[in-house]
Amino acid sequence: AEFLRYADTDARADLAACFAEADRDKIFGVPTFIVDGEPFWGEDRIEWVIRKLDAMGLRR
């Protein structure tokens, strides 16, 4: 019952505050990779990281 009350009242504001804090801290998602200053975040971007490393000649 307490969780439902929270979900109906304070949860949205708390979540918005968490998103704002993450944005200020430059936290985007998990996992986060920074390659040559470019951020890649989320498991679905791992292939992009590999392609970027390949283009830089850094893949082993």
The verdict on residue 43 lying in a domain is: yes
> How does strand 32-35 pair with strand 38-41?
antiparallel
- Output the six-digit token pair for 51: 């392609």
The verdict on residue 35 lying in a domain is: yes
pLDDT at residue number 23: 83
Q: How far is CA 19 from the centre of its chain?
A: 10
The verdict on residue 60 lying in a domain is: no
Domain of residue 45: give its range.
2-55
Instruction: Identify which of 57, 56, 28, 22 has the alpha carbon closest to the alpha carbon of residue 40.
Output: 28
Number of domains in the chain: 1
**pLDDT tens-digit profile of 4-42?**
999 999 999 999 998 899 888 877 678 888 899 998 888
